[in-house]
């Protein structure tokens, strides 16, 4: 079951209000591969609370002068680290509790 924070239910207008980022800037971050909204059948972008938090982090990094390419590399690195960590935790649980799936 996914967290409520990961459900894609927020429109770009609301994201704009929550973050202070323009719709154009939000779409730019999407085009740079930093954020991945879902699309409705009519093409409307839908974001999650997790996306909103990520957009705020991206905006903070941009204010610090970090380029979008560097942010993307950092996000990819963080994602790989989480994947390795999750794999290690599953392995430890499997060893400890003789579990086949977790």
Per residue in 52-92, pLDDT tens? 999 999 999 999 999 999 999 888 887 766 666 565 666 66
* Local structure of 67: helix, strand or coil: coil
Lowest mean pLDDT among 6-10, 70-74, 95-99: 95-99
Q: CA-CA distances (angstroms) from residue 79 to 23, 51, 54, 101?
A: 26, 15, 13, 22
pTM score: 0.74
CA 30 to chain centre: 11
| Residue that wins the pLDDT comparison between 32 and 3 | 32
Pairing type for strands 10-11 and 38-39 reads unpaired
């Amino acid at each position: 079951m996914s967290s409520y924070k990961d459900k894609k239910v927020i429109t770009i207008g609301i994201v704009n209000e929550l973050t202070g980022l323009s719709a154009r800037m939000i779409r730019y971050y999407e085009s740079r591969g930093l954020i991945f909204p879902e699309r409705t059948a009519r093409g409307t972008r839908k974001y999650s609370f997790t996306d909103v938090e990520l957009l705020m982090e991206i905006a903070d990094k941009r204010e610090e002068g970090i380029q979008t390419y560097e942010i993307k590399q950092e996000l990819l690195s963080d994602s790989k680290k989480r994947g390795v960590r999750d794999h290690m935790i599953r392995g430890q649980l499997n060893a400890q509790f003789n579990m086949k799936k977790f």
